[in-house]
Chain A
Amino acid sequence: QKEVEQNSGPLSVPEGAIASLNCTYSDRGSQSFFWYRQYSGKSPELIMFIYSNGDKEDGRFTAQLNKASQYVSLLIRDSQPSDSATYLCAVLSGGYQKVTFGIGTKLQVIP
């Protein structure tokens, strides 16, 4: 079982819709969870991080964490074509203090 799992996509949504990106992780001791956006050929950029169960909102982005289900998600409201990118889920493991990345979900926002 992979430590951090994401559906590679592509996930296609129409402009203005809500995009929902999901991630599961295997280490129950994981402490912190990050969402990065990566455009093709570029380095990742941090969008949000979340530590506690529940929702965390920042502008059009909402991160949701459910530690019991070992599940973290990212919602993008009012999706724009410029949101088209690969979204990487990253998890800070409890034991090794190391961040592990998922394979990323490719999001396509259709104008």
Chain B
Amino acid sequence: GAVVSQHPSRVICKSGTSVKIECRSLDFQATTMFWYRQFPKQSLMLMATSNEGSKATYEQGVEKDKFLINHASLTLSTLTVTSAHPEDSSFYICSASEGAVNTEAFFGQGTRLTVV
């Protein structure tokens, strides 16, 4: 399968600071990238969908000013958690798809964010 690289795999930050997570498709062009959040013992929850060169589409209840998504190229999307708080601590996962929807999308390794 295709390779999606997510970095960093683990990050600890202080409350009030911002954290940037990168998601790269290494061997294909990702028309669409998806960002998920997974709390312990819960399912993946889609946060937003980003298409290269356009603004991200956020799911209901996700603050777009807090979770900044940039999809500047066909191989890179970034998620920035701004002014992080302890309740933002979670497992963040990106996935990338060559098509418009996340069918057969490939997942990155995930980023464990801990806000202290």
Q: Which residues on the A side are within 8 Å of B43 (C-beta)? A: 88, 101-104
Q: In chain A, what residue has the closest Cβ to B112?
A: A41
Residues in A neighbouring B45, C-beta threshold 8 A: 101
A43 x B103 contact (CB < 8 A): no
The answer to whether residues A88 and B103 also contact, given A41-B112, A43-B110, A46-B1 and a CB cut-off of 8 A, is: no
Taken together as a complex, chains A and B put the C-alpha atoms of A45 and B106 apart, in Å, by 8
A99, B45: Cα distance in complex, Å: 10
**Which residue from B6, B91, B107 sits with its C-beta under 8 Å from A45?**
B107
Q: How far is the CB of B3 from chain A (nearest CB, A)?
A: 12
* A28 at interface by CB-CB < 8 Å: no
Residues on B with C-beta less than 8 A from A104 are 43
Q: Determine whether the beta carbon of A43 is less than 8 Å from that of B1.
A: no
Q: Mark A80-111, 1 if CB is under 8 A from B, else 0.
A: 00000000100010000111111110000000
Q: Nearest Cβ in chain B — how far from A86, in angstroms?
A: 9
Instruction: Report how many residues on chain B are interfacial, defined by Cβ distance under 8 Å.
Output: 23
- The bracket for how many chain A residues form the interface is 20 to 34
Q: Is B62 an interface residue when CB atoms closer than 8 A count as contact?
A: no
Query: Interface readout for A22-63 with B: 1 if CB under 8 Å, 0 if not?
Result: 000000000010100000011111100100000000000000
With known contacts A99-B46, A104-B43, A49–B107 Cβ distance under 8 A = no
Cβ A88 vs Cβ B109 within 8 A: no
B20 smallest CB distance to A (angstroms)? 18
Question: Which single member of A43, A92, A99 contacts B93 (CB below 8 Å)?
Answer: A43
**Shortest beta-carbon distance from B25 to chain A in Å:** 14
**Contact indicator B103/A99 (Cβ below 8 Å):** yes
Chain A residues with CB under 8 Å of B105's CB are 99
The chain A residues found within 8 Å of chain B, CB to CB, are 8, 32, 34, 41-46, 49, 88, 92, 97-104
14 A-B interface contacts by CB (under 8 A): A8-B41, A42-B109, A42-B110, A43-B93, A43-B108, A43-B109, A45-B107, A46-B1, A46-B104, A46-B106, A98-B49, A99-B103, A103-B42, A104-B43
Task: Give 4 new A-B contacts, CB below 8 A, not counting A42-B109, A43-B93, A103-B43.
Answer: A44-B93, A92-B103, A102-B43, A104-B43
